[in-house]
């Protein structure tokens, strides 16, 4: 007795070459590269496709297949796949990186000399079926639809719509797509109509529609030719004399399911990888949080096995109301987004993906009592300097409200002092400001920040004018050519943090449901805010060394950029004075002049309107405005138009 649908576990088999080529071409315009110039766009696209669909369909096992060169089909037919363009030079290095990433994720790769990836896929699927494990084939190639049966489904991209989605094909979906043909008839279909992409000849004169009509009546190529005398003449005249070519084309199209590979289902179990190793690889490739967030759980095989299995139609879990699709979130700094990779974020159960990143990167404290504040003051007294950051209700420092301050005096440590949360234990705002003001205003105690102007303007609004700022991490990063200059990105890439830092959206939400930082519980806000100050301090040492190596940038930083910060703050705080009386007088003068011009122009309205009179009106207007009229006169000789 076979396993019921609800009892089945799932193997996802990924068509490696198909997805790599798809990502390579779809992401080419994005031109993602590391700072050293290494191309990574295909690597990013492949991993995004794979990880997105792993998180959405939650397989228990994952394997990837690749082509390895000449196959038995090339021996059968020298022109097989002839005419394909030569593989671009940047493809193979990225393919090697993809295989490196799969190795880091402990996802096995299957290949077979003399066979295509499709044959390996078919073989693995049949071996999984023998173990009552259902298979989901992730590909962009319709050839694999012939493998579909009760245990095998295909997740196939639909690249020709405005919003490119991926559809799950079972037997019913194949029947619908091919107007009644079963999966086991698709090799016959290619035998008749051929396949230009693989240079399979088929029968000249028979297209897809005709081939489907014939196969719906006769079933197979063999039976069709056995009853050729019953075929309507409009098809028979093309079929006659091409039986061997049709059968040969069909044979080329059949995916074999006995390639010399053996599925090791335990090795394919998802989740048994070293997360730190994968993150280090992503950092070296300069991939950020968008991919890290999609990493499958590394909690162990038992946890993965406990995941519920979705129904036989393989619908994605917890859908967002949109079709399942391949997607990507391009790294910061990229303006390109391909429709193929357009996918709304799915609300996937926590067990299916990596735990949310909220790492305590150091030892952090929250100052909510007088004793806590005393400890912080003692630390500030002995510290040579400190990094600081502020949290507010918005992004306008001159109008929004200060919610809390964070400080760090030593790398790996940090404080958060809440003063404006709507709930939770907090010290009186003014008490905090009075105790901390001497340290912020001391010009002899060095201070460090990221985007210091924003923080300093907020502090100035509450009566704490900061003096002694010596380093702004954001300005240093910009001067040194970093496209990614956000604090979270700099921490992840430059410091090689073990996990990405928590993003603000994880605390306040996104879109219509987004709230403000004062609504965030203090126990969640504290590690987030303290980490900002801590990482800022760590980055100071990192960028100080970088600036030492670039004297020209260092001179600009020290002599121009840093001294300009307090000047800009003073200018923005003072604002721009407007002489309202003069502006009102100017408005009245201009309004009167416009009225005069309109009266003069529309005085010509009684003339017959043609090109010449239109030019005359334009000449009047141009003349009144003091503009040259030479360009208008050359049109005056043209006949009037209606």
Q: Which band of pLDDT confidence, cut at 50, 70 and 90, is reported for residue 6?
A: low
How much is the average pLDDT of 194-217?
88
What is the pLDDT, as a whole number, of residue 81? 73
- pLDDT score of 555 more than 90: yes
What is the pLDDT, as a whole number, of residue 604? 56
Residue of 77, 54, 487 lying closest to 289 (CA atoms): 487
Query: Would 314 be classed as within a structural domain?
Result: no
What is the pLDDT, as a whole number, of residue 354? 37
* Average pLDDT of the chain, as a whole number: 83
Query: Would 295 be classed as within a structural domain?
Result: no
> Do 598 and 569 share a structural domain?
no
> Do 183 and 165 share a structural domain?
yes
Q: How far apart are CA 367 and CA 532, in angstroms?
A: 16
Q: How far apart are CA 605 and CA 7, in angstroms?
A: 84
The SS3 of residue 78 is coil
- pLDDT tens digits for range 462-498: 999 999 999 999 999 999 988 778 999 999 989 988 8
What is the pLDDT, as a whole number, of residue 140? 86
Q: How far apart are CA 465 and CA 204, in angstroms?
A: 83
> Do 424 and 405 share a structural domain?
yes
Q: How far apart are CA 423 and CA 295, in angstroms?
A: 34
How much is the average pLDDT of 279-285?
92
> Do 561 and 456 share a structural domain?
yes
Q: Which band of pLDDT confidence, cut at 50, 70 and 90, is reported for residue 296?
A: confident
Q: Exposed, middle or buried by CB within 10 Å (0-12, 13-18, 19+), for 130?
A: exposed
- pLDDT score of 523 more than 90: yes
Which residues 6+ apart lie within 8 Å of 180 measured at CB? 212, 216
Question: What distances in angstroms separate CA 347 from CA 64, 76, 200, 353, 553, one per listed residue?
Answer: 25, 48, 43, 10, 45
> Do 609 and 525 share a structural domain?
no
- pLDDT tens digits for range 337-364: 333 343 333 332 222 333 334 455 789 9
Q: Which band of pLDDT confidence, cut at 50, 70 and 90, is reported for residue 412?
A: very high
Give the domain-ending residue among 221, 253, 285: 253
Question: What distances in angstroms separate CA 212 from CA 166, 192, 215, 236, 253, one per listed residue?
Answer: 24, 9, 5, 15, 16
What is the pLDDT, as a whole number, of residue 163? 45
Query: Would 13 be classed as within a structural domain?
Result: yes
> Do 543 and 449 share a structural domain?
yes
Query: Would 536 be classed as within a structural domain?
Result: yes
Q: Which band of pLDDT confidence, cut at 50, 70 and 90, is reported for residue 165?
A: low
- pLDDT score of 35 more than 60: yes
How much is the average pLDDT of 251-277?
93
Give the domain-ending residue among 530, 558, 574: 574
Buried b vs exposed e over 324-353: b needs ≥16 C-beta within 10 Å?
Answer: bbbbbbbbeebeeebebbbbeebebeeebb
What is the pLDDT, as a whole number, of residue 499? 86
Tell me the pTM. 0.71
> Do 417 and 502 share a structural domain?
yes
Give the domain-ending residue among 574, 599, 615: 574
What is the pLDDT, as a whole number, of residue 605? 52
How much is the average pLDDT of 169-178?
94
Name residue 110's beta-bridge partners.
65
How much is the average pLDDT of 599-611?
61
**DSSP codes, 372-429:** HHHHHHHHHHH-S-EEEEEEESSS-TTTS-EEEEEEESSTTEEEEEESS-SSS----H
> Do 584 and 445 share a structural domain?
no
Q: Could you list the residue range(s) of the whole structural domain that residue 609 is in?
A: 580-633
> Do 546 and 594 share a structural domain?
no
Query: Would 442 be classed as within a structural domain?
Result: yes
| Length of the chain counted residue by residue | 642
Q: Which band of pLDDT confidence, cut at 50, 70 and 90, is reported for residue 242?
A: confident
Q: What is the total count of domains within the chain? A: 3
Q: How far apart are CA 337 and CA 192, in angstroms?
A: 38
Query: Would 269 be classed as within a structural domain?
Result: no
Residue 50 belongs to domain with CATH number = 3.40.50.1010
- pLDDT tens digits for range 612-638: 555 566 666 666 666 666 655 544 444
Query: Would 172 be classed as within a structural domain?
Result: yes
The SS3 of residue 556 is helix
Q: Give the CB-side neighbour count of residue 100, counting CA atoms within 13 A.
A: 17
> Do 528 and 409 share a structural domain?
yes
How much is the average pLDDT of 519-535?
96
Least confident of 145-159, 322-336, 414-428: 322-336
- pLDDT score of 332 more than 60: no
Least confident of 33-42, 70-79, 182-191, 259-268: 70-79
> Do 621 and 534 share a structural domain?
no
Query: Would 296 be classed as within a structural domain?
Result: no
Q: How far apart are CA 548 and CA 193, in angstroms?
A: 67
> Do 521 and 610 share a structural domain?
no
- pLDDT tens digits for range 97-123: 999 999 999 999 999 999 999 999 999
How much is the average pLDDT of 126-148?
94
- pLDDT tens digits for range 584-596: 999 999 999 988 8
- pLDDT score of 331 more than 60: no
**Structure tokens belonging to residue 52:** 């997105």
């Amino acid at each position: 007795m076979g396993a019921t649908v609800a009892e089945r576990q799932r193997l996802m088999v990924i068509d490696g070459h198909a997805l790599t080529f798809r990502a390579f071409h779809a992401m080419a315009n994005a031109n993602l590269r590391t700072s050293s110039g290494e191309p990574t766009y295909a690597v990013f696209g492949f991993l995004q496709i794979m990880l997105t669909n792993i998180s959405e369909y939650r397989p228990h096992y994952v394997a990837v297949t690749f082509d390895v060169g000449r196959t038995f089909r090339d021996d059968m037919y020298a022109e097989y796949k002839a005419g394909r363009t030569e593989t671009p030079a940047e493809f193979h290095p990225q393919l090697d990186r993809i295989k490196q990433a799969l190795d880091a994720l402990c996802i096995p790769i299957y290949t077979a000399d003399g066979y295509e990836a499709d044959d390996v896929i078919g073989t693995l699927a049949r071996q999984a079926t023998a173990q009552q494990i259902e298979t989901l084939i992730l590909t962009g190639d319709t050839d694999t639809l012939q493998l579909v049966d009760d245990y095998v489904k295909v997740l196939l991209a639909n690249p020709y719509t405005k919003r490119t989605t991926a559809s799950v094909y079972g037997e019913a979906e194949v029947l619908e797509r091919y107007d009644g043909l079963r999966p086991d008839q698709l090799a016959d279909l290619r035998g008749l109509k051929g396949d230009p992409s693989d240079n399979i000849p088929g029968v000249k004169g028979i297209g897809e529609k005709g081939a489907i009509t014939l196969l719906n009546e006769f079933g197979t190529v063999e039976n069709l030719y056995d009853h050729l005398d019953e075929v309507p003449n409009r098809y028979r005249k093309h079929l006659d004399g091409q039986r061997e070519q049709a059968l040969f084309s069909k044979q080329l199209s059949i995916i074999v399911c006995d390639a010399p590979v053996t599925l090791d289902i335990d090795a394919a179990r998802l989740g048994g990888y070293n997360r730190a190793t994968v993150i280090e690889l992503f950092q070296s490739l300069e991939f950020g949080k968008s991919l890290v967030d999609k990493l499958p759980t590394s909690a162990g095989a038992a946890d993965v096995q406990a995941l519920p299995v979705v129904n036989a139609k393989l619908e994605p879990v917890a859908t967002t109301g949109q079709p399942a699709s391949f997607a990507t979130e391009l790294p910061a700094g990229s303006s390109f987004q391909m429709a193929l990779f357009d996918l709304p974020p799915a609300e996937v159960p926590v067990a299916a993906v990596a735990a949310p990143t909220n790492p305590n990167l150091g030892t952090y404290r929250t100052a909510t009592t007088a004793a806590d504040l005393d400890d912080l003051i003692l630390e500030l007294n002995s510290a040579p300097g400190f990094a600081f950051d502020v949290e507010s209700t918005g992004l306008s420092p001159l109008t929004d409200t200060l919610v809390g301050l964070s400080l760090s005096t030593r790398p790996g440590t940090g404080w958060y002092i809440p003063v404006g949360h709507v709930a939770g234990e907090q010290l009186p705002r003014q008490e905090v400001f009075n105790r901390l003001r001497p340290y912020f205003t001391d010009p002899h105690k060095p201070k460090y920040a990221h985007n210091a102007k924003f923080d300093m303007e907020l502090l100035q609004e509450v009566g704490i004018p900061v003096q002694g700022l010596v380093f702004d991490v954001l300005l240093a990063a910009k001067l040194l050519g970093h496209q990614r200059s956000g604090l979270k990105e700099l921490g992840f890439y430059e410091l090689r943090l073990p996990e990405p830092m928590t993003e603000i959206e994880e605390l306040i939400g996104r879109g219509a449901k987004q709230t403000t930082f004062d609504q965030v519980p203090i126990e969640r806000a504290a590690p987030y805010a303290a980490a900002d100050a801590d990482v800022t301090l760590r980055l100071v040492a990192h960028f100080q060394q970088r600036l030492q190596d670039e004297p020209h940038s260092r001179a600009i930083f020290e002599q121009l950029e840093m001294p300009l910060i307090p000047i800009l703050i003073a200018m923005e705080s003072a604002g721009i004075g407007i002489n309202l009386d003069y502006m009102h007088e100017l408005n009245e003068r201009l309004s009167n002049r416009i009225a005069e011009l309109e009266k003069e122009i529309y005085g010509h309205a009684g003339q017959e309107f043609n090109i010449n009179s239109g030019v005359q009106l334009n000449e009047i207007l141009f003349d009144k405005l003091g503009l040259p009229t030479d360009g208008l006169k050359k049109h005056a000789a043209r006949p009037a138009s209606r």
